[in-house]
Structure 1
Amino acid sequence: MATQLIAGGNGPVPETTLIIRVKSAIAADVSAFRLDANGKTQSDDDFIFYGQKQSNDRSVLLLTEGDNSSFSVNLSALPASVQKVAFTITPEAGHNIQTLRTLGISVEVNGKPHLTCPVDLNGRNEAALILGELYRRNSEWKFRFVAQGFNGGLQPLAEHFGVTIDAPTEEVSKPAPVPPPAPAAKPINLSKVTLTKEQPSVNLTKPVNLSKGQGFGRIRVNLNWNQASGGGFFSKLNAIDLDLGAYVRFKDGHQDLVQALGNRFGDYQNVPFVHLEADDRSGSASEGEWLNINGAKWDDIAEVVIFAFIYKGVPNWAKTDGVVTLQLPEQPPIETRLNADGGSQSMCAIARLENINNTLKVERLNAYFGGHEPMDKAYGWGFNWRAGSK
C-alpha cells in the first residue's frame, strides 16, 4: 500500500527507475531540474521540460504531459554530481495554482504507487509550485513532498535553479560599440505553440541558420499517451496501443503511406522521405512513437497528414491523454492534444503539414473515423485498403 505524505514529509525510495506522476484537473506544464549540492543546475541540459524532454544522458525523461504528466527517473544512472531532482508545475500564463482545482504528485515503483502527495490548493495564488524532490542522503535516495509556491511563472523559476533563459533583446536608438561577446552555450527558449480549436494553425518559414539545401531540417513528430487506462504507466491491464502514421502526397501527384501496419516504415533519405522509427509492439514504450520527416525535401512535398489509430485496447481517446509534438530546428515545439472524445472511433487524423509556396503550415485536425477507409474517403487519398497486421 502506498504511503501518503504531508507537505514537508519524506520517504525512502529504491535506487531504480521511478515514475514521478503529476495529476491535475486542468492541463499544466511540468518541469524537472537536476541540481548539485548548491541547489543549482550545472548546465542547461539539466532542465527537462516541454522544449527539452530528456537530460543529455537520458536518466530523466519527460514521458507524458497535460493533466496526467509523468517523468521517468533512473536513479542509478544519475551522475554523482546530481544531488537532487526537483519537480515543478506551472499553469497557463495568467492563471495561478488554485485554478488547477486538484493537484497531486506521486512516486511509482514497478507500476505501483509508492508515495502519494495530495496538494491542498486552498488559498494558493502562486504562479508556480515546487512540488517535490528526489534527494541523496547518506548514499541513499529519498523523496520529499515540498509544495512550495513560487511567484513569476516558469522563467523566474528556471532562473532560480540556474538555467539561462533566452529573452528578446530590447532595441535602443544608438547602441554604444561593445566588444564581441565570448562564445557561450545557447540559452534555453521557453516558447511553445499549442494548437487548439480557437488557434488551429501556425505558419513556419525556413530557418535562416540552417545550411543551404537543408530546408526545414529534420522534422520530428512524437506521439505520446498514457498507455494504461488503469493502474501505473507501465501496467499491462487495459493497455492502449496507439500507432502513429502519415499520409504523404508529393507535388508530382505521387502518394505514399507510412505506418507500422503492413511494415510500411518508410525511408528518410529516399522517397517518401518520411520514416517511422521502430514500432514498440509491447505497448510499453516510455517515449511513445516517433516519425521523422526529411525537411530538406520539403519543396517536393505537397502535404503530410499525421494520423494515429488504436491498434490494441478499447477505443477511448479521452482517456489516452494523447499529445502530438512537432520539433523543428530553430522553432518552438508545436503541440496538439487528443483531448476530444472520439467515441468508439479507432482512427484520428491529427494534423496536416501543408506546403504553401515552400513554407510550412501546421494545421490541427483532430478528426475521428471508424477506420482507414472512411478517413481515406474524407481526405480523398484513393488507396485500396485491406485487413493487415503488424
Structure 2
Amino acid sequence: MNENKEFKLEALVEPLCLWYEKEKRSMPWRDDATPYHVWLSEIMLQQTRIEAAKAYYDRFTKCLPDIPSLAAVSEEELLKLWEGLGYYNRARNLKKAASLLVERYDGRLPADYDLLLSLPGIGRYTAGAIASIAYGLAEPAVDGNVLRVTMRYLNCDEDIMKMSVRTKMEKQLRAIMPKDCPGEFNQALMELGEVICIPNGKPLCEKCPLSHLCLAHKEGREMELPKKAEKKKRRIEKKTVLVFRQGDRIGIVRRPNQGLLAGMWEFPSKEGHLTMQQVKEYLSETVSCEVTVKRLKSGKHIFSHVEWHMRGYEIILPEGKPQDVVHGLLFCDLSEVQEKYPIPVAFHIFLHQI
C-alpha cells in the first residue's frame, strides 16, 4: 500500500457514510446497541449469516438478557441455546468473559480497547466493533468484508490472510475514520461488503457509492480481488452412527470436555463406514440381547477443517431397561433430548429420522 493509495482511502469516508445513513438495514442489535448486545451479536455473526443469527439472538437475549445472567447460566443450558450455530467455543468464551466481567468490572464491558482485547474470545475485530459501536471510540473493526472493500477500492494485490496486511489496514482506517461517528463508519464498511461488494459472484458496482473512486472497478479487476492464499483442503472422516432406540427413548453419550464439539451430546459412533453385517457383528459382541437393525439415510457435515461422512443405523431394543443391555449410554425420551440436551447439528439428520 503506497502513500498515494493510503491518501486515496480518505476520499471514501463521506460517500460511504451518506450511503449508510440512507441504506442501513434494521437489525435487533443495531436498534438497541448496548455494549452487551453489540458484543453478543458480533460473536454470533462470526461464521454465521445475519438472517440465521437473528433468531438465535432473540432467543438468547430473552433467556440471558444481561452479562450477569450469562455468567450464571450452566454450560449445558448455554450450549442448548447455541445449538445449531456451531463453533461452540464461541459460547464457552462468552460465558468465561462474562464471569470475568462480573468479577472485575461489575458486570459491564469496559470502554477500553485493550481491556476488551484481554477478554476470552475477543480479538482485534470484535474489540474494535464494541469500542466503536457501543462506546464511540475511534477504533477500526477490520473483518473480511472490510478487507474486501478496501482491497478492491485500492486495487491492492496483497494477501489479506497475512496479519501484516490486516494491521496496515487497521492503521490506515484509524487515521481516516470520523471521530464523531466511528461506529457508523465501521458498520458502513461492513454493510457495503455484505450487500454490495460481495464475496461470491459479481459485486454490484452499479449500486456502489464508491464505484467512481474504486481503482479495481476502473481497471475491471473487481472479480480478481481480494487476493488470499488457498486454504488447506479439509480432511474427510468416515463414521458409522448408531442410534439406539427403545420405544420413545434414545441413547446418547457425552463427548469429551476437550476437542471438537467438546461437552456436547451425540449418538455413539464407530470409525469408518460399517456394512449392515459388520454392525450386527459388533452388536452381537457388545449388546446382551436380540436387536433389530435398520439402515438410516446417510449424512454429511462440514466443519472448518474436517468433513464427516456419516452412515447411520437405528438399533431397536426390546422392552426392559436399556441401560442393562447397552452400557455407557444415557437413555432419554426423544422430547427431553430435543429440549434439554445440546446435540450438534451434524447428528440432526439422524435425530429427525427417528
- Calculate the TM-score normalised by the size of structure 1: 0.21
Larger Rg: 2
Q: For CA contacts below 8 A with separation 6 or more, give which structure has more relative contact order.
A: 2
TM-score, normalised to structure 2, is 0.22
Would you tell me which structure has more helix in proportion to its own residues? 2
